[in-house]
Amino acid sequence: MLGVWQNNWRSVQKVVAMLFVMSAFFVGSAAHAGDELFDVKIPISDSDANLSKQDQFDKALAEASRVELMRLTGRLDINDDDEFQELLQNPKDWLSRYSYQPIVQEGVAVGTQIEFSFDRKHIYQYFQKHNLVLWPYSNRPKTLVFGSQKLGNDTVNLNADALEDNPALDYRKPAERMGVPVLEPSNAVDSSLWVYPLQNASPEQIVFLESQVKADYLMTYQEEVSETGDKAFHWELFDKQGQKVLDGQADNTLAMDNLKDIFARLLDYYSQGYRAQADILGSLTLTLDNVKQVEDLESVETALNNLKPVVHSVRLNTLQNNQANFEIIYQGIYSNLLTKIQQIPHVLVTDNDAVIGVVQAKWSDEAQPNQPVDSSTGVSPDTAVSGSASSTPLAIQGQASSSAISQNPQVEKGNDVQTEGAVIETMPQGESIAP
């Protein structure tokens, strides 16, 4: 019997491998980049249609501010934290712009939503002032999602096309709402490869599917509608080892309400390990030799200050004999910050000591093309300022640079999401936890 299963599984692997060679297995990430963590879309519900436009706006903005803080921090308890009350009670002060937009389904406008864009700089400053933890988008795990709907004896797999035809079961918007990166299967995935809740999928199958798209988790959900119209909703979450770490169920509730609740739970679950480590504040001294031009010094200062949300603050302590000494306050893991420093163009790290938190480096005229640039730092060779014939020599020795040193309040964590001690949860039948 075991041999039969192994042979069948090898066949499945071959089929999947062929699909990947065709480059048609997955559409890609349905969540937006980290920049869009500051944009929140709130639909105006039918129940609010009788409210004045101002009341509709105020209600939507209050909801958007809660969503914004939850997705930035990974916390669901923001209403209970006094440090968030200034943002929650005065959300207009944190807006940079807003706009009314139609909600379009199959080319037809079916409603209206308001998109609120929050002021990134203002929020960063507030987080720094209150030592609040912001969860970087680049550290968030990616989740491969398999959805389905069972109507009597028929099952519809929610691939890319089916999601467009079933907006009430489309998980992409609640995932975007909570800032949870997801991967969606394309129309090319064979139904025999689909993963359903309660089917007892093997860990090997889960691990294999995750590995093909470098997903950290796999989630499956299904809405089951009986011939009498009764509904049941089931979902399961599997980790990188193929083990089930969360699941839930609900009866006779709207699928979209369930999906909002699920992604709120995933946000909280995924961020737990990061938040635990981010409470640790660290100090690092960066000594940079061979700094001969003002522009070179300014470019390094800018790059360090652009390490949002890794760096809490940066200060240029001394500048003497072409050597600059920076003090960097950060939250999270030392090795992650070191990696980001190594990715700054023209900064060549020569030595470091994790025990005492000292990094030795020198300015190099070479842009170091062999060092990959982390997109989360916002630093690339194309935007770096390098020394040239028009550069200004450093004429003043022993003084700090005149360029402004901004302070940005954020944190960093390792790429591995901690899942130790995970418990199996059942979706409660009572009030939803989603904002």
Whether 76 contacts 433, CB under 8 Å: yes
Whether 275 contacts 74, CB under 8 Å: yes
Tens of pLDDT, residues 305-327 = 888 777 878 999 999 999 999 99
How much of the chain exceeds pLDDT 70, in percent?
75
Q: Which residue has the tokens 């969360």?
A: 246
d(CA 372, CA 376): 12
**CA dihedral angle for residue 262, residue 264, residue 268, residue 271, rounded to 10 degrees:** 100
The pLDDT of residue 19: 47
- Mean pLDDT is lowest, of 247-251, 286-290, 368-372, for 368-372
Spatial CA neighbour of 223 closest among 156, 163, 171, 149: 149
Domain residue spans in the chain? 14-276, 281-377
The values of phi and psi at residue 129, to 5°, are -60, -40
Hey, CA dihedral for 72, 77, 82, 85, is it positive or negative? Answer: positive
The pLDDT of residue 335: 83
d(CA 70, CA 260): 13
Q: How far is CA 49 from the centre of its chain?
A: 33
Whether 287 contacts 361, CB under 8 Å: yes
pLDDT of 430 higher than 80: no
pLDDT of 200 higher than 70: yes
Burial of 320 (0-12, 13-18, 19+ CB in 10 A): exposed
Mean residue pLDDT of the chain comes to 80
Tens of pLDDT, residues 2-25 = 454 445 555 555 445 444 433 445
pLDDT of 353 higher than 90: no
The pLDDT of residue 397: 41
According to the 3-state scheme, what is the secondary structure of 210-261?
A: HHHHCCCEEEEEEEEECCCCCEEEEEEEECCCCCEEEEEEEECCCHHHHHHH
Contacts with 310 (C-beta within 8 Å, 6 or more apart), sequence order:
136, 330, 332, 336, 337, 340, 376, 377, 410, 411, 412
Tens of pLDDT, residues 33-62 = 455 799 999 999 988 989 999 999 999 999
Spatial CA neighbour of 248 closest among 265, 273, 267: 265
SS3 103: strand
Spatial CA neighbour of 145 closest among 235, 221, 237, 219: 219
pTM comes to: 0.66
The pLDDT of residue 41: 95
Count CB atoms within 10 A of the CB of residue 371: 16
Residues 186-191, mean pLDDT to the nearest whole number: 80
- Mean pLDDT is lowest, of 65-69, 122-126, 279-283, for 279-283
Tokens of 222: 């299904």
